[in-house]
Amino acid sequence: MSDYQVQNPATGEVVATYATATDQQIEAALAQASTAYYHWRQTPLSERAQLLHRIADLYEQHQDALAHIMATEMGKPIAQGKGEIGLVAEIYRYYADNAAPLLAPTNIEVDRGSAIVEKHPVGVLFGIMPWNYPHYQVARFVAPNIMAGNTIILKHAPQCPQTAAAIVDIIQQAGVPAGVYNNVYATNAQAATIIHDSRVQGVSLTGSERAGKAVAQEAGQALKKVVLELGGSDAYIVAADADLQLAIKGAISGRFGNTGQACNAAKRLIIVEAIYDTFVAGFGAAVRQLQLGDPLDDNTFIGPMSSISAAVNLQQQLSQAVADGATLLVEGGLLKDKPGAWFKPAVLTGVNDTMPVYREELFGPVAVLYKASSIEDAINIANDVPFGLGASIQTKDDKLAAHIAEQLDVGMVTINAPSGSEANTPFGGVKRSGFGRELGYLGITEFLNYKLIRDKS
């Protein structure tokens, strides 16, 4: 049976199944992407830009239908799905409008003659994408790279085959030449074959730490460059002078948006002792007011988790934390008497560094609260995890915000708002959160050949 199937997380019902790719289909995708590259790289930037604008237009035109698919595939509340589609359109437009200056040659001052560095595409790229933001994650890999002249083979998450097919439809409707973008319903073994194929020049994965290790190992053996965007356990630091109402509101949206299933979600809320009790009371009350709802309802903020297995795994982590001595400030967890992957939001306190959950990623609607004796203690708690994706800071003091931001071992810091994503700002982390950057001016730089042209005459 194929791994590629749509199982509605709201009901547990399998509503569609897609056949796994044959080896012949994998070879055809490799051949098509390789052949298309030699024509696509010669296509003027202005023509590529027009196609990217057309892709953005089509995303906006089909926003409702695409959000509906996400709601039934992985449970994303439809209003948030529409927001994701809007961001995707922005990403395609950003690279359409900005690629020319970003790809322009760089002049180097030399004593004699001239030297320039030209920026060229490298060839066929392989992307392995996750389910939690099934259009956005693809766009931030695809948009800059096809704009740069590379071609794409993409393996989407097995639980999002309808989204994968919808992306193909949009790209084809936009008029992108055949072979520039190739979707494959590949197995993990076939993915390894693609990585090792000589026609593939680079690999990008967004996913779990486990998947990152496997892909990095294969890419290393094949001497292929790889970009990894992996897990996170982002800190949300609240200083004593913070606007508590704003901080609580941001913590709710930052932790529970997308039903808590975001790599850069505010998973660890670190509160300075002076305001800890006040914050906890307000935050706990706000979490208790959250209601699970139908993901197809525009008013729903929290829907089901992406899958029953994901909800079961999160419940195991939550139960283990309590068994280890943590306290459930807000009791929540897997609703076993309801079909599907429904998980009531929960809040943990009393977690310490002797517990496994202290350094684990909780990928779902569970928040962990920490009391910090000082700002320096908050910084230490924030850094004391193997992840280094992002962090948020709540304070009215600009100098304090700058100090905290400078000390955090992360790739992104957001001040007075939960972490998010924008087309024109780089996204990525350090430590076990991966390496490389997507989006913004850095997003188009990862898979380029920086060719030196040195004239000594």
The residues annotated with a catalytic role in the active site are: 229, 263
Is the CB of residue 336 less than 8 Å from the CB of residue 293? no
What whole-number distance in Å separates Cα of residue 199 and Cα of residue 123? 8
* Phi/psi of residue 323, nearest 5 degrees: -65, -30
Nearest to 230 by CA among 355, 132, 307: 132
What whole-number distance in Å separates Cα of residue 170 and Cα of residue 154? 15
Q: Where are the beta strands (DSSP E) in 137-265?
A: 151-155, 181-183, 200-206, 225-229, 234-238
Helix 78-102 vs helix 136-148: crossing angle, to nearest 10? 20
Strand partners, 371: 271
What whole-number distance in Å separates Cα of residue 233 and Cα of residue 267? 6
Q: Which residues contact 417 (CB under 8 A, 6 or more apart)?
A: 250, 392
Which secondary structure element, helix H or strand E, spans residue 98, and what is its range?
helix 78-102
Nearest to 268 by CA among 360, 336, 197: 360
Q: Where are the beta strands (DSSP E) in 109-188?
A: 114-121, 124-128, 151-155, 181-183
Please give the DSSP secondary-structure letter assigned to residue 224: -
243, with CB counted inside 10 A (0-12, 13-18, 19+), is middle
What residue type is assigned to position 54 of the chain? R
